[in-house]
Amino acid sequence: MQVALLVPEQEWRQLLADVQRLKAAETLPPQLVASPPAPDRVLTVREAAHYMRLKPEGVRNARRAGRLAGLRLNEKEWGFRQSELDRYLSRYNRRPLDAPPALKVAA
């Protein structure tokens, strides 16, 4: 038994264009193909506290309160992705340790 599938002409042309675009991308040299982003760095509580200019207890409290997402490294220790720390800092208008000082605007 054969199955027939009816596809509207506009959708069929879009599908063909997508296939052609994928075939063209497949033939590109490896230098032009975008590489996947590097994995996030995972920092310990102490490293995260130093990076965020907080005390380790402040980082732990933020995680417990749900303001900062953490990863369980083992039974006792937690880790934090650097992108999550950056999100937290931007949300609460803080600067990371390695950021340049903010410029003062003369009024």
Which residues have CB under 8 Å from 78's CB, separation 6+? 44, 45, 60, 63, 70, 71, 72
Q: For 28-38, write each residue's pLDDT tens digit.
A: 676 666 667 77
Q: For 7-24, write each residue's pLDDT tens digit.
A: 899 999 999 999 998 888
pLDDT-derived band at 49, boundaries 50, 70, 90? very high
Instruction: Tell me the whole-structure pTM to 2 decimals.
Output: 0.57
> Where are the domains positioned within the chain?
42-91
